[in-house]
Amino acid sequence: MSEAALLFDLDGTLTDNFVGIARSIRHALERLGADVPDEATLRRCVGPPLRSSFATLLRTDDASVIEDAIAHYRERFADLGWRENVVYDGIPEMMGSLAATPRPLYLCTSKPEVYARRIVTLFGLSEHLAGVYGADLAGRFDDKARLLAHLAATERIDAARATMIGDRSHDIRAARANGARSVGVLWGYGSAEELAAADARVGTPAELAALLSG
């Protein structure tokens, strides 16, 4: 088994992709003739699997309707949306600091892996990562607990010694389901209340680096 690993969420943890995600969701809903929600509702869609977000927005469990929405979303996101993104202040320094420790860093995101790879490469974060794991386009790893288990099995990581870092409750649930430690970050899309079950919470990337370097 490898050294105890650090597993990072992407949206709301390393980068802020709200603009690209929100505009692509609006594009999909407009194509379907559906109502476009307010910004607060759209912000809740950043982090969870897209299929569950569209099921909620469209008030349906009809898989064909949800897949149509995803197809419309991706026609914009694949071209423009993934670039409408910024790295949070302090993240490059934090990633560089942690990459200098013996603990390997991995990306573990509900975003489709094809887009996640583009984003971490665009922002120069990929050089710090031992691997990038995300959902596939068919939704096989929409459940983040399943994705984390897949990452651990593929990389031969002891999940009980790993730490999942993220900004939403599903990051914390995925860690708990796999026996991993969790750290909630408060600069993303989840509230302190949403992250209450995390083993630790931090307010800045510098605090996170200090916590994980100890």
pLDDT of 182 reads: 98
Identify the pLDDT of residue 139: 77
Strands 105-112, 6-8: pairing is parallel
Could you read off the pLDDT of 127-185 as tens digits, one per residue?
A: 999 999 999 888 788 899 999 999 999 999 999 999 999 999 999 999 999 999 999 99
Q: Rounded to 5 degrees, what angle do the CA atoms 163, 123, 44 make?
A: 60
pLDDT at 207 over 70: yes
Given a cut of 90, is residue 46 above it in pLDDT?
no
| Predicted TM-score of the model (pTM) | 0.91
Q: Is 9 a catalytic residue?
A: yes
C-alpha dihedral over 82, 19, 95, 121, to 10 degrees? 20
Mean pLDDT, the chain, as a whole number?
94
> Mean per-residue pLDDT for 23-47?
94
Domains of the chain, start order: 6-16+86-213 (3.40.50.1000), 18-83 (1.10.150.240)
